[in-house]
A = this chain, B = another copy of it.
Amino acid sequence: MEKELKYLDFFKKRSTLRRYSSSEEVSDETLTALLEAASHAPTTGNMQLYSVISTRDNDMKERLAPLHFNQPTVKGCSVMLTFCADLRRFEKWCEQRNARPGFRNYHSFITALIDTALFAQQFVTLAELNGIGSCYLGTVTYNAEKIAEILSLPERVVPVLCLTVGYPEDGTGFPPASDRIPVNGVLHKETYKDYSKDDIDRLFEYKESLEESKRFVEENSKETLAQVFTDIRYPGKMNEEVSESFSRLVKDKGF
């Protein structure tokens, strides 16, 4: 007899929160308690290769906002968190203990990036379980060089994820969950089963049928929803420019 699974609905109904209460703040005490619990997320070899910089100061928000394309969520949030892949702390420890760290390479950056993402997501989940919402800002890697400067990030520390955090506005709460493709479009058993033309049609059918998707296509004068992604939201030229600036930063920070 199958056990009944718990929490499925809570996780399926979660959503990104972009508009926050102006009256209720996420206190330092709350933030610290959530981050402390989140730091028990899995981490490679228990090295905890990350740091997080909190931004509450209005002047700091003003300086960071344009680097996040002036998304209103930056100035409107209670606190912004910039999660960084951080080898610095661990290496300092090694050096103080007569050990020679060998982490100035690509793989160590990937390891730290994964550590950081697991920590950030653990924080997001803990926050949501406590009625606190958040929004990841992909822009953190677009302008990582300038963000690193403003946050005084030293060598060996690279910003990789960013969150705005706050309680929902009074009365509005969290928005409805957004669509996902059917899980059998993501899960492959034993080996990767490549997608046929029909598979792709079937997997993206629901997303394409949404009124919101149709509006995106119309507002952007495109033929298909996919073109909104490739031409407007994530154009190749931009991805290439960001690739260049971000990999330059990663190298500058000693990876």
A residues with CB within 8 A of B: 2-3, 5-9, 11-14, 16, 27, 29-42, 44-48, 50-57, 60, 84, 88-90, 92-94, 96-103, 105-108, 110-111, 113-114, 117-118, 120-122, 124-126, 129-131, 136, 138, 141, 150-154, 157, 160-161, 177-181, 183-192, 194-195, 197, 200-201, 203-204, 207, 223-227, 229-231, 233-240, 242-243, 246-247
Pair A130/B5 contact, Cβ less than 8 Å: yes
User: Which of B45, B89, B97 interacts with A224 by CB under 8 Å?
Assistant: B97
Known contacts being A113-B114, A190-B53, is A99 close to B227, with CB within 8 Å? yes
What's the Cα separation between A177 and B37 when bound, in Å?
11
Pair A105/B192 contact, Cβ less than 8 Å: no
User: Which of B7, B101, B201 interacts with A230 by CB under 8 Å?
Assistant: B101
The list of the 6 closest CB pairs from A to B, nearest first, reads A102-B236, A117-B117, A97-B226, A99-B226, A36-B183, A97-B224
Pair B102/A230 contact, Cβ less than 8 Å: yes
User: What residues of chain B lie closer than 8 Å to A55, measured between beta carbons?
Assistant: 190
Pair B103/A239 contact, Cβ less than 8 Å: yes
Q: How many copies does the complex hold?
A: 2
Pair B51/A188 contact, Cβ less than 8 Å: yes
Pair A239/B107 contact, Cβ less than 8 Å: yes
Known contacts being A5-B130, A93-B204, is A39 close to B152, with CB within 8 Å? no
